[in-house]
Each structure stands twice: as structure tokens, then as C-alpha cells.
Amino acid sequence: MAHRRTRVKSWLPVLLFIGGAVAAAVYFVENPGSAMAARVLTYDHLATLAAQHVGMVVISSLLAAATALPLGILISRPRLRLLGLVLENLVNIGQTIPSIAVIALSFTVLGLGFNTAIFALWLYSLLPILRNTYAGIISVPPGVREAAVGMGMRPWRILLRVELPLAFPIIMAGIRTAVVVNVGTATLATFIGAGGFGHLIVTGIMVRRLQLLLSGCILSALLAMLCDHLLGMVEEKVKTSA
Amino acid sequence: MKRVMSKYGIIWLISLLLLLPLLSGCSGGQAAQAPGAIDKWVFATDHEFSVRPDGLPELLKFYGFEFDEVRIMDLGVTYGALKDGQVAAAMGFATDGRIAAFDLVNLEDDKNFFPVYNPAPVVRKDFLDRYPELEELLGRLSPLLDTETMISLNAQVDVENKDPKEVARQWLLEQGLIREEASAPTKGKIVVGSKEFTEQLILGAITIQVLADAGFEAVDSTGLAGSEVVRKALTGGEIDVYWEYTGTAWLVHLGHDDPLTDSEECYNLVKEEDLARYNLVWLAYAPFDNTYTIMMRKADADALGIKTISDLARVINEGKN
């Protein structure tokens, strides 16, 4: 019962925010305030932008998880501790490069469009996932690992049954961070012709139309919030089923 | 040690394997095509042009055609996207240096859709009364500045990374407008301003060197950020002369809503109103027009016989029937 109540409570602000954001978006579409904003703020166009934005975030995040998880596990092996330290520091430095620079650099090599945006977002979200996977596994107390060895578990089983489950919350935190940051970074993809909610924001700034700017911001915030919450639900589900 | 190396090797291999398909998948762009073989008319535009009332939607209506796809990106990116063959046509600014450098061509706005933005030196009336020779001194520069000249000057700065001052000096020397050695200033002080972008820096540098050559003490106050700031500096007496565009003055400084598309008409109206309202004098205007432009690759335009936007509309519409 108590469990259920906390769940309802955690949903409430999210529901309120979603409701508010959707209402705001609808309000702006119905009252664009100028012909220029009206040209951009149609339900059709918003759906296209949403599909582009969600597409970029989902594909790049999945690819990032698929790359960074195995890599994180690999460098957490005792034999590769040294490499782990080097890589972790590289990762820390990498994260200090501004996201717009990552997109701009990818553009100079790969050219325009959706694929370049995916590549840049993938690169940028590798880092939190890799770091958290590594940190999560490293943080498993040596005693626990020794106990598993003592029970005669093979390394693979130790990884799957002991290390990963114990590291899971930390890994998930990394994935959630990566995805939420990704939603924000994807607003920059409009500079290289990949669309997304950034289109509304940049156009809004260029032609000084607050309705465009705000609807872009609100919709990307909404998406970030939704992604984070969905991943939170997945995390809960996995935890309870494990 | 050998063991460690092999492990490192495995890691690099894995990351490379994961990277390669992405890189090869992304390295996109179309394969080289025969000139004029355009099967999909994709147009590159920046965000502002895609919604402005004097931008893309009205242009398409005015000329009566549609692109197959419109891709919206940063302004600086459209030239490269066109050059690399990722789009068939693009918008840009008519005097950008990359047009010549990238083998692109401006399509003529044959139906006068775009508002005109011809630049001219602007001075305060009282200042011109003090130095009446300015009218002739700066006025003779304007007719020499046509679109090709300005594209070439801009390209020397933007594409060849030369210094605007040096580019201005070279051009003035070629035209025989200044002498190799400037004499010591014998006349009064003139502060020259400009906005912050390449073309304005070049125009500012040209003005400074011509004034210095004529014996004035020319003070460099170029590179001010934005039209409003430079204009206020001029009316407030912090600078004495700068090159403003007729269209900008008409729409921004004089606050009109209807853009003008005839150079002569726009210049005359602005000149008259600015003198009456703000006591500013517009000297002779240059024939180059820094307005929006629709560009294509030169090879494509030649192969398809496209010179004007009407030609483009005709080719696209014929392709659809």
C-alpha cells in the first residue's frame, strides 16, 4: 500500500507537467500570434519535428548503450584496470567539449543530415554510460566478488549474476543522464539540417517570435521528462522482477 | 605485456568495428552526377528565410513553383551543402565570397521579388557641410563596387583568409584610387564605422584608406555589432561615416513595412526621408545588392540553361509534367 502511494506521488508532478506542456503547445498552435509563426506551428509540422527528434534520440541512445555497455564491462576487468583509468580520464576530458562543437566537428567530416546528427549524439552520449558502467562494476565490494568465486562461480556468471545486478542502478543512472542530455543536444541538430524541435527554437530566435521559441523549449523539455520517466519505470520493473 | 597489448588490440578492434558501419553509412552525400542530372529538387535554406514574409514561401508563390524537399539548416552551411551536391539549389547572400570560390551562380531575380539592399556611405548633414569634398571623394567609390567585385573582395577575406585592410588596399591600388605612400594628415579627423561582418569591414577599410590618402586623419571604428548600434553611433556623433544598405534603412531605421524591390526608387525614398527626419545624407549608392539570392551549381545551371529564377521555376515545373 505504501509502495503504491509513493508511485502515485511520483507520477503526479510528471502528469501535471505533461498536461501543462501539451496545453501550452496546443495554445501556441491555436494562437501563433503572427503569420510567420503560424507557418511553422501546425500540428502536421510539429508531428514531423517530434518524429525527427524522437528518432534521433532513440537511435543514438540505443547505439550508445550498445557500444558503451560492453566497453564499460571490458575495461572493468581487473586485467584492464590501467586501460580503464586512461579511458575514464579520456571520457572526462571528452565530456568537457561543448555539444555544439561535437555536432559541428561531425558535420565537417560527415556532411549534412540525420546520420551525422545520430553520429554526434551517439558520440556525446557514450561518455556517461561508459563511465557509469565502469564505476558501477568497480564499486562492487571485493568481498562479494570473492564470495562468488568461493562459491565456484565462473567469471561470466559472476558478471551476470553478481556484478551487473549490483551495478544496475548506477548503470541506469548513466543511461538516464545520457538520454536526457541527448534530448537537449538534439535541439542543435537543426543547424546541420536534421530537423527536430531545435527548428522551432532557432527559427524563434532568428525572427524573434516568442511563440516559436517557447513551444520548441516546452516540447523538448516534455520529451526529456517523458524519456527520463519511462526509463525510471523500466528500472523499477527490472529491479522488482530480478 | 604481450597479453595486455592483445587485449588493447581487441578493444580497438571492437570500437573500430562499431564505428566503421556508422562512418561509412554517414559519409553520405550523393555520388558525383553528370551536370544537370537532378532527379530531386532539394532546396537548402536557413531558418529565417524559411519563414520570413519576403522569404521562401512567398518566393515560391510569386514565381509559381515548388521544390520537392526543403531542408532547413544554418546559414553558413547552405553554400557547402550546395557545393557538395547534397542539395540542388540553396539560398544565400548575393555577395558572399563562397559563391565564386565554390563555383556557384546567383540566379537572377528577374521578377524583382527580393527587396534591394544597395549600400551607400551615410554622413550627417552638418559634417558634410564642414567637409563638402567627401561627397566626391566617397561618391566615386560607389560605381566601382558591382556584385562581382564585392564577391571577389569578400572571397579574398572569407575563403583565402586575407586581412580586410590588405584586401581593401590592394583593390584601391589596382583601381588607382590611392597612392602607395599615404601623406601625413593635414585635414580634420573623420571616424569611420562599420558593422561586424566581412563585407562591412572591407567597405570600412576602403573608406579609411581613401580618406587617409586624401589627407584626413581617418580613425578606425569599424566592426560595431549590428545595424542599430552603428546607426546610433552615427546619429550620436561617435562615428562620422559608414556604409548602410538602402533596404535596411527603409525597413529598420525608417520603420516601413513594405519592402522595396527597385534599387533607384528605394535609394531616392530613403535619401529624401533620412535627410528630412534625421539630417543624414546618403552619398552615391553602389550597384551591388547584398540581398537574398537563390544559387545553383554553375555546372548544373549551365547544363539546364537556367539563368533566372523564372528559368528554374520552368525547369522544375516541366519536370513534373
For the question of an ipTM over 0.85, the answer is: no
| Rg, Å, chain B Cα set | 24
Name every chain A residue with its beta carbon within 8 A of the beta carbon of B53.
35-36
As beta bridge partners, residue B92 has B293
B44 contacts A193? CB cut-off 8 A: yes
Q: Is the pTM of the predicted complex or chain greater than 0.95? A: no
Instruction: Report the pLDDT value the prediction gives residue B27, as an integer from 0 to 100.
Output: 46
Min Cα distance B27 → chain A (Å) is: 5
pLDDT tens per residue, range B134-169: 999 999 999 999 999 999 999 999 889 999 999 999
For A2-241, which CATH class? mainly alpha
Q: Which residues, including other chains, have CB under 8 Å from residue A20's CB and lie 6 or more apart?
A: none
B51 contacts A40? CB cut-off 8 A: yes
B26 contacts A119? CB cut-off 8 A: yes
Q: Quick one: average pLDDT of B217-243?
A: 92
Min Cα distance A197 → chain B (Å) is: 12
| pLDDT tops 50 at residue A1 | no
| B84 lies within 8 A of chain A by CB | yes
Distances (CA, A) of A211 to A28, A190, A225, B104: 6, 18, 21, 36
pLDDT category at B171 given cuts 50, 70, 90 is very high
Name every chain A residue with its beta carbon within 8 A of the beta carbon of B46.
206
A71 contacts B28? CB cut-off 8 A: no
Q: Which residues, including other chains, have CB under 8 Å from residue B64's CB and lie 6 or more apart?
A: B313, B317
B36-113+292-320 classified as CATH 3.40.50.261: no
Task: Please provide residue B139's backbone torsions phi and psi, each rounded to the nearest 5 degrees.
Answer: -60, -30
Helices (H), ranges, A41-163: 43-75, 81-95, 99-110, 114-138, 142-150, 155-157
Instruction: Report the pLDDT value the prediction gives residue B31, as an integer from 0 to 100.
Output: 46
| B33 lies within 8 A of chain A by CB | no
Name every chain B residue with its beta carbon within 8 A of the beta carbon of A193.
44, 71-73, 77, 81
Angstrom distance (rounded) from CA A131 to CA A37: 42
A71 contacts B11? CB cut-off 8 A: yes
Helices (H), ranges, chain B: 2-26, 47-51, 56-63, 75-83, 98-101, 125-130, 134-139, 147-158, 164-174, 198-213, 227-235, 246-248, 263-278, 298-304, 309-320
pLDDT category at A9 given cuts 50, 70, 90 is low
Which residue is it, cell 567597405? B203
Min Cα distance B19 → chain A (Å) is: 9
> What residue segments make up the domains of chain B, in order of their start?
36-113+292-320, 119-282
Interface of A with B (CB under 8 A): 35-37, 39-40, 63, 66-67, 70-71, 74-75, 79-80, 82-83, 107, 110-113, 115-116, 118-119, 122, 190-193, 195, 199, 202-203, 206-207
* Third-level CATH fold of B119-282: Dipeptide-binding Protein; domain 3 (3.10.105)
pLDDT tens per residue, range A20-74: 989 999 999 998 888 778 888 999 999 999 999 999 999 999 999 999 999 999 9
Angstrom distance (rounded) from CA B79 to CA B296: 9
> What residue segments make up the domains of chain A, in order of their start?
2-241
Angstrom distance (rounded) from CA A217 to CA A203: 12
pLDDT tens per residue, range A179-206: 999 999 999 999 999 999 999 999 988 8
pLDDT tens per residue, range B55-65: 899 999 999 99
pLDDT tens per residue, range A12-24: 888 888 899 899 9
Whether the Cβ atoms of residue B69 and residue B255 lie closer than 8 Å to each other:
no
| pLDDT tops 80 at residue B282 | yes
| B7 lies within 8 A of chain A by CB | yes
B28 contacts A116? CB cut-off 8 A: yes
Angstrom distance (rounded) from CA B50 to CA B214: 45
Instruction: Report the pLDDT value the prediction gives residue A224, as an integer from 0 to 100.
Output: 94
Q: Which residue has the higher pLDDT, B176 or B26?
A: B176
